Structure 1
Amino acid sequence: MTAQQSPPAPVMAWAERTQGPLVVLRGAVTDLPLAPAWDVVRTGDGARLQVRTALDPGAFTRETFAHRHAVPALGPGTAPRLLATSAAHLALIVTTLPGTPLDELRMPEADLRTVHWRAGHLLARLHQAARHTGTAHHDAPTVLSRLADEAAAHLGTVGDRLSADERKRVTGLAERLRFAGRLPLGYIHGGPLGSCLLWSADAQLALRDFESTRFAPVVLDFVHLACGSWAIQPRLRTAFFTGYGRAPGHDEEIALRCLTALTSARRLAEARALGDQVAAAGWGVVLDRVYDEVCAR
């Protein structure tokens, strides 16, 4: 990973014109799929803010739309507050929120179930936060087909890191995904929720980083958690969907399991490429388990 210690000079100049003098606290990691962001302090009042630059105009538009039209529905303190935007610089300034990412929480399972219940409740509010259009309904069926295509293409590049049986399973899951039935749509977050959900010391749950938001099948927002803590502590999944207000329907469950297995296969191949046998063994177990669950339905 590489870090850019300060925003580009034009972005920093714009930020200080809108907010006053700023001091950069932390450089931004610039080679991750999420947008570069810099934590800063406004010297006039000591407020901690974040200067963000979108990766492209589409991401800028998505994040700006989310802050203006969806984030207000989440409630006070549950997301950063938008302070300024610059289309010319593809930049935004937002407030920062305290908290530990969901993936990094270390607490008793009973407490984690409370956090995941709150996460389900918060995601349900996001999914219902903005009205989708006819275009969203038209495009939704193609989303899973495109993901199946991507899985098949990825298999072509990492096939030598998977066994013949594993390759067969990935191909079968990709084809099963193409024929998933009609799935519930919503305004999804679209990012790695395990790192974008923050739990603070005062028991507040917040959501950040909205550059991937869009109207799509809501099942896409469940995959990261299904590949993470839910695989180890299944009762967290139950708590999440209790907070969400409903469990996945039959077709949605199949799609979720297919997507979880395909993600696991990708990470299995990556772990083997890195020589990480422990991670590879873990992802292999997840792939086998979820594949068997799909076949049983």
Structure 2
Amino acid sequence: MTDPNLLPAPLRSWAENTLGALTAARRLPSGSSPATVWHVVRGSDNARFHLKTAPSPGAFTRETFAYRHAVPALGPGNAPRLVATSARHLAMILTALPGAPLTQVRLTEAALRTVHWRAGMLVAELHQAGRPTTTARREAAALVSRLADAAPRHAETAGDRLSAEDHKFVMVLADHLCVLDRLPLGFIHGGGIEAGLRWSGTARPALQDFDRARFAPVVVDFVHLAYGLWAERPRVRTAFFDGYGRTLGAEERQALRCLTGLHAVRSLAEGLVRADQVAVDSARTVLDRLKSEVGV
């Protein structure tokens, strides 16, 4: 049986034809992205790269589009640089960023606020990058409706972990989401901003993993943060939006509440399928918090 941690020979051959001889190739642990990533080192100068294979043609197309048309707006050092792509292998070679994922770094409250203030500036640049085509604008506007339409399925999977009151609350969130039609659009990261942030010991974070990037209502990018970190540290949320350059409008705030609740239901359902009690408990906490906020 082939060792899944070894770089497959066809990929290594393509990478070496592009970069030159490699002296090391190490598969990285799975993160928030479903892609497979190897850390590779070029022998001639010890330069480090990531060789990334997308899980699907769609993910490959989204990420290569992002790196070519949106990510350059973030500026040098703020995101990986695309070196080469192979549609045959659904692969891309990216420059490797220094540091570690922000979620794995212990920071003081003050340092975390500073990092998120700078992250807000970075995300604002991404959201304003590029101009959507008519098709992309139509698809972006339809995304929120698709998320709302998935709510009954997730609620059914959650079964008796949702009370009748919970179920009604979730359906109200989904219905409300469908009538919010003036949400600002932009080019979003799509994969969870916090999970995509990388920190190297300076106040300036970098952003990676663009395989879910697309044009969409920008509020979608804030759901994972509202689901976790911002609920526990509201001053970090304030710092982020100070960097972002604006606060959310009234409809965006309503949309964020709805999207966070629907994300909780999805997380609850998926946690039950995986027998992940931590995910189930976190989702339950978020749902109860949202219900208390609206007086349910």
Using structure 1 for the length normalisation, give the TM-score. 0.91
Q: Is the 8 A contact 1:219 1:256 kept in 2?
A: yes
The answer on whether the counterparts of 1:261 and 1:291 sit within 8 Å (CA) in structure 2 is no
Alignment partner of 1:136 is 2:136: yes
Are the equivalent residues in 1 in contact too, given 2:7–2:25 (CA < 8 A)? no
Superposition pairs of residues 54-69 of structure 1, within 5 angstroms: 54-69=54-69
Q: Secondary structure at the match of 1:222?
A: helix
Q: Residue 63 of structure 2 contacts residue 213 of structure 2 at CA under 8 Å; is this kept in 1?
A: yes
Q: In the alignment, what sits opposite 2:26?
A: 26
1:214 corresponds to which residue? 214
Q: Which runs of 5+ in 2 are unaligned?
A: none
In the alignment, the residues of structure 2 paired with residue 286 and residue 13 of structure 1 have an alpha-carbon distance, to the nearest angstrom, of: 47
**Aligned-residue offset at 1:75:** 0.9
Give the deviation of 1:215 after TM superposition.
0.7
Change (3 A) 1:98 1:259: same
**Mean alpha-carbon deviation: is it higher for 215-224 or for 24-33?**
24-33
Q: How far apart are residue 233 of structure 1 and its match?
A: 0.5
Q: Report the Cα offset of residue 244 of structure 1.
A: 0.6
Distance in structure 1 (CA, Å) of the matches to 2:53 and 2:167: 39
| C-alpha deviation, 1:108, in angstroms | 1.6
Match of 1:244 in 2: 244
Which residue of 2 is the match for residue 185 of structure 1?
A: 185
CA contact (8 A) 2:130 2:187 kept: yes
Aligned position for 2:113: 113
C-alpha separation in 1, matches of 2:26 and 2:276: 32
State the SS of the aligned residue for 2:70.
helix
Distance 2:31 2:125 in 1: 31
Count of residue pairs the alignment pairs up: 293
Deviations 1:127-148 (CA, angstroms, capped at 9, x unpaired) = 1111112223323332111001
The structure-2 alpha-carbon separation of the partners of 1:58 and 1:90, relative to structure 1 and needing over 3 Å to count, comes to same
User: 1:211: Cα distance to partner?
Assistant: 1.2
Question: 1:182 Cα shift?
Answer: 1.1
| In structure 2, C-alpha distance between the alignment counterparts of 1:188 and 1:156, rounded to whole Å | 29
Report the AA paired with residue 260 of structure 1. T
Q: Distance in 2 between matches of 1:8 and 1:294?
A: 53
Query: Deviations along 1:129-172, whole A, 9 cap, x unmatched?
Result: 11112223323332111001112111122223222222222122
Matched letter for residue 78 of structure 1: N
Segment drifting more, 240-249 vs 257-266: 257-266
Return closer, same or farther for 1:54/1:275 CA change in 2, 3 Å cut-off.
closer
**Aligned-pair distance for 1:8?**
2.5
Unaligned 5+ runs, structure 1: none
Structure-2 change in CA distance of 1:137 and 1:31 (3 Å): closer
State yes or no: 1:5 paired with 2:1: no
Matched residue, 1:101: 101
CA offsets, 1:228-255, max 9 Å, x none? 2101101111111111111111111111
Contact 2:78 2:207 in 1 (8 A): yes
**Aligned residue identity for 1:253:** R
Q: Call closer, same or farther: CA 1:268–1:156 in 2, change over 3 Å.
A: closer
Match of 1:90? 90
- Measured after TM superposition, the shift of residue 192 of structure 1 is 2.3
Q: Is 1:81 aligned to residue 81 of structure 2?
A: yes
Alpha-carbon contact 1:4-1:28 (below 8 Å) kept? no
Q: Which ranges of 4 or more aligned residues in structure 1 deviate by more than 4 Å?
A: 28-33, 269-273, 278-282
Tell me the CA shift for residue 201 of structure 1.
1.2
CA spacing shift, 1:114–1:39, aligned 2, 3 Å: same
Residues 33 and 211 in structure 2, CA contact (< 8 A), matched pair in contact too: no
Deviates more, 1:178-187 or 1:167-176: 167-176
The one-letter code matched in structure 1 to 2:47 is A
Amino acid at match of 1:202: T
Q: 1:30 to 1:201 in 2, by over 3 A?
A: closer
